[in-house]
Structure 1
Amino acid sequence: MGIGGLRGVLGRRESGRICISFRVKMKMASLLNTSASVISVNVNSIPLLNRTNFKDWKEYVSIVLGCMDLDLALRTDIDAALTDESTADHKRDFEKWGHFNRMCLMIMKRGVPESFSGSVSDEVTAKEFFEQIDKRFVKND
């Protein structure tokens, strides 16, 4: 009895170890797929921003980013840039903040009309992007 590319390998004496390894990998893959599904559902729940739904859009984005634990980039400003003297903790925090910032920007830009997101600099932080959207759309809501 074999599974995919493991056919013939399972007949060996070490098959128990291979089976256990395979099962663990399958469970991890299932967990990753579940996480990807949850992320997809969360991101897809954000409505496309238009002139009349800014308040709802902002609430959806805030909830989704908060539930996904990505809102650090919206709640805090970036620390000083990394230098040769930066500590390991500072490097870790800087990289973590950068990851959260990129994820926030991707998720927010997905729900914003291209006519607006295309006019925003690529150098803007997620917090600045949120503030620019706020300035542009809050008066319409």
Structure 2
Amino acid sequence: MVSNVPLLTGTNFSEWKEKVEFTLGVLDLDLALRQEEPQPLTEDSTGDDKAFHKAWEKANRLSIMFLRMTIASNIKTSLPVAEKASAYLVAIEERFKTADKSLAGKLMADLTTIKYDGTRSMHDHCIEMTNLAA
């Protein structure tokens, strides 16, 4: 499953996030992303509370490991140390929100200014425009 998730390089955040969330969901490790951290256990905690707490802790720990495994090494060093997977994902999203906007702006500029120059076939030119639009 991990091999299906692209390495986060900074220019592919949207695709990376979508595949990470899907993969964690398929592996049933997305509990820490979907649910808030449970209250600390007490003597009055029920068996269900203890089981949920244990499941949440495991999902959180494995989700953080999975997120770190799919991020390029040069990016990992600039991200904060994480205690919770959901907070770590938010920190990553904040870091790359501007990168996505600038990439979108560049692609739009390329798409609106591209011209057929005759050095290659019209088919190749149309394919390039289609790829930019996608």
Q: What does 1:1-141 correspond to in 2, within 5 Å?
A: 42-118=1-77, 119-122=79-82, 124-141=83-100
The one-character-per-residue Cα deviations of 1:24-52 (angstroms, maximum 9, x if unpaired) are xxxxxxxxxxxxxxxxxx11211111121
Alpha-carbon shift at residue 128 of structure 1 (Å): 0.4
Contact 1:55 1:138 in 2 (8 A): no
User: 1-side partners of 2:14 and 2:27: how far apart?
Assistant: 20
Question: Displacement of 1:115 after TM fit?
Answer: 4.0
In structure 2, stretches of 5+ residues that fail to align are 101-134
- Segments of 5+ residues of structure 1 without an aligned counterpart are 1-41
Distance 1:128 1:112 in 2: 16
Q: Separation in 1 of the partners of 2:57 and 2:67?
A: 15
**Count of residues paired in the alignment:** 99
Q: Offset of 1:79 from its aligned partner?
A: 1.2
TM-superposed CA distance for 1:87, in Å, is 1.2
2:130 — aligned with what? none
1-structure distance, mates of 2:5, 2:39: 32
After TM superposition, the score normalised by the length of structure 1 is 0.65
Identity score, percent = 35
Task: Determine helix, strand or coil for the equivalent of 1:90.
Answer: helix
- Over alpha carbons, which structure has the higher Rg? 1
**TM-score between the two structures when normalised by the length of structure 2:** 0.68
CA distance in 2: counterparts of 1:71 and 1:133, whole angstroms: 17
Deviations 1:47-89 (A, max 9, x none): 1111210000001101111111111110111111112221111
Conservation of the 8 A alpha-carbon contact between 2:9 and 2:75: no
